[in-house]
Amino acid sequence: EMWCRFLLVAVLCCCCLSSSFGVGDENTVTVVVGDEVMFSTDEDFNMVGINFDFWPPTKPKWGEAGALTINLTHPDLRTLAKGLGGSVLRLGGSPIDFLLYDVTDDACSSANINKTQKQPNQTYYCPIWDQVVGQCLTLKRWQDINEFAEFTDLHLVFALNACWGRNNSESPVNTSHIFRLLNYTATAPWSSALWGFEFGNEVYENIHPTTYGNDINKIKAYAESVWPKSRPLPRFMGPDDGFGYLSDSYFEELLNSTRTEDGNNIHAITVHYYGAQCASNATAEDMVLNTTCLDAAAVSFGDFASVIRAQNVSMWDGESALQGNSGIDGLTNTFRSSFWYINSLASFSKVGVGALNRQTLVGGDYGLLNKTSFQPFPDYWAVLLWKKTVGKNVFNVSMNSSSQTLRVYAHDTVDNTDSRTLVVLNFSLSKTETINVKGFNAAQQLLMTGNPSSKKVKVNGILAVHTPGTPIPSFTPEHVNPAAIVVPPASIVYVMLSN
pLDDT digits (tens, 9 = 90+) for 34-66: 999 999 999 999 999 999 999 999 999 999 999
> Per-residue confidence at 203, pLDDT binned at 50, 70, 90?
confident
Mean pLDDT (the chain, rounded):
93
Question: Which pLDDT value is given to residue 118?
Answer: 74
| Statement: residue 277 has pLDDT above 80 | yes
What average pLDDT does the segment 59-76 reach? 97
pLDDT digits (tens, 9 = 90+) for 415-432: 999 999 999 999 999 999
CA distance 362 to 367: 4
Question: Which pLDDT value is given to residue 112?
Answer: 93
Question: Which pLDDT value is given to residue 282?
Answer: 83
Flag whether the pTM goes above 0.85: yes
In contact, 449 and 491? CB cutoff 8 Å:
yes
pLDDT digits (tens, 9 = 90+) for 338-362: 999 999 999 999 999 999 999 999 9
CA distance 452 to 466: 20
pLDDT digits (tens, 9 = 90+) for 145-186: 999 999 999 999 999 999 999 988 999 999 999 999 999 999
Backbone φ, ψ for residue 334 (5° rounding): -120, 175
Range 170-205 burial, b when 16+ CB lie within 10 A, else e: eeebebebbbbbbebbbeeeebebbbbbbbbbbbeb
| Statement: residue 474 has pLDDT above 50 | yes
Residue 392 parent element (H or E): strand 390-399
Question: Which pLDDT value is given to residue 125?
Answer: 83
| Statement: residue 12 has pLDDT above 60 | no
CA distance 458 to 464: 5
